[in-house]
């Protein structure tokens, strides 16, 4: 080994072993651990939590509208001449040329035609709605992460299959070259082995690229740098769920956030209609006021009237005619409630359909797993027999290449069926509204 080659080997070894190196092996994580980290770090979660916090502030604001409000005011006025009142006896001063005053006012809403109460209830339902949106975000993220992990695990499996194919065809090319040199096979048989090997190398390169893409996709969901190392534990195929399709449908209808959100929308529509109808009623407030007026910036005396004054006022206002605006607003809310009801009916049917579709996908995946397992065994035995026959010169290079292709296809089909089954379980968890972060079937390492 030349000196520069030794230096390169040492540098690579140091990069692999030094702490903090980007080439260090990543800690192996289970799918459940990846999901848990994504629920902590994904920006979509932070956005949903911010929307929930905003809704809670809206509720605080709506609650405050029903409570007494305290306000204070200050005025200062400089007239060009002092105010007077004219009479037969002459001009009588009634105020200062420079006047100032301040007052404090307390207002308590007594009745608003149920508008304030409805607004408060709407704000409270708004908090519930944002909590449901947050739950939906978490469940969607959980599904996306699980499916991304399955894609990475599948890509790793397919890369292993591709590496095995390259190794097998490399060995076959070596044997074919020896046979050709000994005159046992024609040149075109050797060329076939070389072409097959080149195609296998290309397939392996594509498999490596797909694995890298899958890793980058998971890092994005984890809010990590694309180049961050990541290693996953593989999973066992879990048992079939015991629940019937009808039971899973009922779970979906009762737990899916989107359905619950629409039911909440019906209650919000009722409250919106009540708010619109509040225009039919008078609004009544109780107002308490205290103030002082005089000629000083903060007056203590007033020669013309009382220095201070206090009052309690009951004030009411009632819109008697507004060209049908109130009625139109109430009718609009009633129609929107009908629209929400229609969407809810369709949504319940849609989630039931989601469950049935996912159960069908799961069933197909299970059948494909069983078929692919049998096919793998047959392809492996065919590959073994064909290699022996080729060594004994009773099989051609084409037959060897075909046998290896059959095994590669059988292995690939098996892993694709296996992770399609895993995907169907993840989708079924989402379709039935399974809470995010709860334990997942199949999340145990081999």
pLDDT digits 0-9 by tens, 159-198:
999 999 999 989 988 888 888 888 877 888 888 888 989 9
75/149 Cα distance (integer angstroms): 68
27/30 Cα distance (integer angstroms): 10
Task: For residue 403, give the H/E element and its range.
Answer: helix 397-431
What is the reported pLDDT for 438?
Answer: 66
What is the reported pLDDT for 25?
Answer: 55
Contact 299, 101 (CB under 8 A): yes
Confidence class of residue 274 from pLDDT cuts 50, 70 and 90?
confident
Within 13 A of 374's CA, how many CA atoms are on the CB side?
5
Confidence class of residue 272 from pLDDT cuts 50, 70 and 90?
confident
Residue 236 has pLDDT above 80, yes or no: no
Share of the chain above pLDDT 90, in %: 43
What is the reported pLDDT for 114?
Answer: 81
135/117 Cα distance (integer angstroms): 27
87-116 confidence digits (pLDDT tens): 877 778 878 888 888 899 999 998 887 888
CA-based end-to-end distance of the chain = 40
Q: Where are the domains of the chain?
A: 26-67+114-280+324-431
26-67+114-280+324-431 CATH fold: Outer membrane efflux proteins (OEP) (1.20.1600)
Instruction: Give the largest CA-CA distance in the chain.
Output: 145
Torsion of CA 232, 234, 235, 237, to 10 degrees: 140
Confidence class of residue 22 from pLDDT cuts 50, 70 and 90?
very low
Cβ neighbours around 19 below 10 Å, total: 5
Confidence class of residue 299 from pLDDT cuts 50, 70 and 90?
confident
Average pLDDT estimate for 396-403? 89
pTM for this predicted structure? 0.81
Residue 446 has pLDDT above 90, yes or no: no
DSSP string, 282-325: -EEEEEEEEEEEESSSS-S--SSS-SEEEEEEEEEE----STTH
* 9-23, 229-243, 347-361 — most confident range: 347-361
What is the reported pLDDT for 98?
Answer: 84
- Per DSSP, which regions of 393-442 are E strands? none
What is the reported pLDDT for 239?
Answer: 59
- The SS3 of residue 76 is strand
What is the reported pLDDT for 105?
Answer: 93
- The SS3 of residue 407 is helix
CA angle, corner 262, sides to 261 and 268, nearest 5?
Answer: 90
331-346 confidence digits (pLDDT tens): 888 898 899 899 999 9
Contact 176, 390 (CB under 8 A): no
Average pLDDT estimate for 417-443? 81
Residue 407 has pLDDT above 90, yes or no: yes
133 or 302: which leads in pLDDT: 133
Average pLDDT estimate for 339-355? 92
Average the pLDDT over each of 14-28, 52-66, 365-379 and give the range with the smallest value: 14-28
Residue 273 has pLDDT above 80, yes or no: yes
Residue 367 has pLDDT above 60, yes or no: yes
Average pLDDT estimate for 232-248? 75
311/302 Cα distance (integer angstroms): 18
Residue 4 has pLDDT above 70, yes or no: no
Cα separation values, 154 from 67, 204, 208, 381, Å: 60, 14, 12, 24
What is the reported pLDDT for 237?
Answer: 65
C-alpha torsion sign, points 390, 393, 394, 396 = positive
Tokens 């007239």, located at residue: 79
Confidence class of residue 26 from pLDDT cuts 50, 70 and 90?
low
């Amino acid at each position: 080994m030349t000196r520069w080659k030794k230096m390169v080997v040492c540098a690579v070894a140091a990069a692999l072993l030094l702490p903090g190196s980007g080439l260090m092996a990543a800690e192996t994580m289970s799918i459940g651990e990846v999901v848990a980290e994504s629920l902590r770090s994904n920006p979509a979660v932070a956005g949903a939590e911010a929307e929930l916090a905003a809704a809670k502030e809206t509720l605080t604001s709506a609650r405050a509208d029903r409570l007494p409000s305290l306000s204070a005011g200050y005025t200062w006025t400089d007239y060009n001449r002092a105010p007077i009142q004219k009479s037969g006896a002459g001009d009588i001063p009634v105020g200062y040329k420079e006047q100032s005053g301040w007052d404090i006012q307390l207002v308590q809403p007594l009745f608003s035609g149920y508008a304030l109460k409805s607004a408060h209830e709407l704000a409270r339902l708004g908090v519930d709605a944002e909590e449901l949106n947050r739950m939906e975000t978490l469940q969607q993220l959980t599904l996306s992460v699980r499916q991304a992990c399955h894609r990475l695990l599948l890509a790793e499996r397919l890369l292993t299959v591709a590496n095995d194919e390259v190794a097998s065809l490399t060995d076959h090319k070596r044997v074919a070259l020896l046979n050709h040199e000994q005159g046992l096979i024609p040149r075109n048989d050797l060329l076939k082995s070389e072409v097959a090997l080149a195609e296998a190398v290309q397939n392996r390169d594509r498999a490596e690229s797909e694995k890298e893409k899958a890793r980058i996709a998971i890092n994005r969901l984890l809010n990590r740098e694309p180049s961050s190392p990541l290693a996953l534990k593989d999973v066992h195929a879990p048992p079939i769920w015991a629940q019937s399709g009808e039971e899973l449908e009922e779970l979906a209808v009762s737990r899916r956030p989107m359905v619950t959100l629409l039911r909440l929308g019906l209650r919000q529509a009722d409250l919106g209609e009540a708010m619109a109808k509040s225009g039919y009623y008078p609004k009544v407030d109780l107002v308490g006021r205290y103030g002082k007026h005089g000629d000083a910036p903060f007056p203590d005396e007033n020669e013309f009237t009382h220095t201070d004054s206090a009052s309690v006022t009951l004030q009411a206002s009632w819109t008697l005619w507004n060209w049908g605006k109130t009625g139109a607003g109430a009718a609009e809310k009633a129609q929107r409630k009908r629209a929400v009801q229609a969407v809810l009916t369709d949504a319940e049917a849609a989630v039931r359909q989601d469950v049935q579709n996912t159960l069908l996908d799961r069933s197909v995946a299970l059948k494909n797993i069983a078929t692919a397992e049998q096919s793998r065994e047959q392809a492996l035995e065919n590959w073994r027999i064909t290699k022996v026959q080729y060594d004994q010169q009773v099989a051609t290079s084409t037959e060897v290449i075909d046998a290896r292709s059959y095994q590669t296809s059988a292995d690939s089909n098996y892993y694709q069926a296996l992770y399609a089954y895993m995907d169907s379980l993840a989708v079924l968890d989402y379709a039935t509204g399974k809470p995010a972060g709860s334990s997942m079937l199949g999340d145990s390492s081999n």
